[in-house]
Structure 1
Amino acid sequence: MATELTAAQLRAYDGTDASKPIYVAIRGKVFDVSAGRGFYGPGGDYALFAGCEAARALAKMSKDAADVSGDLSGLSDKELGVLADWESKFQAKYPVVARLAA
């Protein structure tokens, strides 16, 4: 996995262009969630995570756009545990296709 994407490049994979895959980043790992297009594509329950780093929102179980970021500061141990569970689920279900550039 040599590919690295900037946050701006990642936004191009938000599901609005049907010819491109849908990507969601968690703790810097970029997952191809195209198989879950119904969830992550436009109109899907988790569409707001598409094309974004979603670690904070997943940890907080939040669909608030303000939480869609990679900022883990101030999260509780419980929230970090929830994030670890999400990360495991993504790793089991979706391929990692890139790293998010720092």
Structure 2
Amino acid sequence: MEFTAQQLGQYNGSDPSKPIYVALKGRVFDVTTGSSFYGPGGAYTMFAGKDASRALAKMSKNEEDIISSLDGLSEKEIGVLNDWEKKFEAKYPVVGRVVS
């Protein structure tokens, strides 16, 4: 499935009848099984329904970092993002891609 950023936002955990999605490097993961982390009240709820690539690379929960842009990231930050991507791939199914 293809999602615009706006469509992805509908899967932010606020509607219990919908799955929870988080995108990483443009790939959309179904993180519903991790709803204690990504659902309402979870430690990572701010990533739900968004592309959290930059924030995860920077290990940041700041709103301005919860975007898909990788511009200006250091080699180390890209490595951190790649590690997150491997964790997501091992734990959550990919359900689509974010398109602009």
Q: TM-score if structure 2 supplies the norm length?
A: 0.99
Cross-structure match for 1:57: 55
Tell me how far apart the structure 2 counterparts of residues 70 and 101 of structure 1 sit (CA, whole Å).
11
SS of corresponding position for 2:96: strand
SS of corresponding position for 2:64: helix
Cross-structure match for 2:41: 43
Cross-structure match for 1:85: 83
Gaps of 5+ in 2: none
From 23, 26, 35, the counterpart of 2:24: 26
In structure 2, what residue type is equivalent to 1:38? Answer: S
> Alpha carbon RMSD of aligned pairs, Å?
0.4
Tell me how far apart the structure 2 counterparts of residues 70 and 11 of structure 1 sit (CA, whole Å).
13
Where do residues 11-22 of structure 1 align in structure 2 (5 Å cutoff)?
Answer: 11-22=9-20
SS of corresponding position for 1:99: strand
1:6: how far off?
0.4
Tell me how far apart the structure 1 counterparts of residues 8 and 16 of structure 2 sit (CA, whole Å).
15
Which stretches of structure 1, 4 residues or more, deviate above 2 A after TM superposition? none
Q: TM-score if structure 1 supplies the norm length?
A: 0.97
Cross-structure match for 1:96: 94
Tell me how far apart the structure 1 counterparts of residues 95 and 71 of structure 2 sit (CA, whole Å).
26
